[in-house]
Amino acid sequence: MQNRPASALRRKRKQLLRQLPSLEALLRGSLIERYKRCGKPGCRCAQGPGHGPKYYLSVSFPGLQPQMDYVPQDLHEQAVVLLANYQRVREILEQISEINRELLRRREAL
């Protein structure tokens, strides 16, 4: 970034904005996989890891235990997309902020 002209940095900033996922489609947290044995006599799950995977959304909050919510199978795929979007938004914000910090260092207009 150091040796790129300010105009290139501003262009890159615009490009990053265009890559921003829809800000409606965000979900913070991570998916946890769980397998459970049902305990029914003769069920094949007794031999394996159990029924599953079942997914839970784990979300952390400062000073609290992570909160867990069950994610129904039919919403799992969407949840995966929204979680990835959240990470992408964070990356993009970080990159835009870095560009602006560099412009500031150069005493360039932001």
Binding site for Zn ion (CB under 5 A): 38, 43, 45
Q: Are 55 and 77 in contact (CB under 8 A)?
A: no
Looking at beta carbons only, is 35 or 70 nearer to Zn ion? 35
Token representation of residue 57? 């959304």
Looking at beta carbons only, is 1 or 43 nearer to Zn ion? 43
Looking at beta carbons only, is 36 or 90 nearer to Zn ion? 36
CB of 79 to Zn ion, least distance (A): 25
Residue 72 CB-half CA count within 13 A: 2
CB of 34 to Zn ion, least distance (A): 14
Looking at beta carbons only, is 5 or 48 nearer to Zn ion? 48
Query: What is d(CA 23, CA 93) in angstroms, rounded to the nearest whole number?
Result: 12
**Residue of 41, 69, 38 lying closest to 55 (CA atoms):** 69
Token representation of residue 5? 């002209």
Handedness of CA 91, 92, 95, 96 (dihedral sign): negative
CB of 20 to Zn ion, least distance (A): 44
CB of 75 to Zn ion, least distance (A): 23
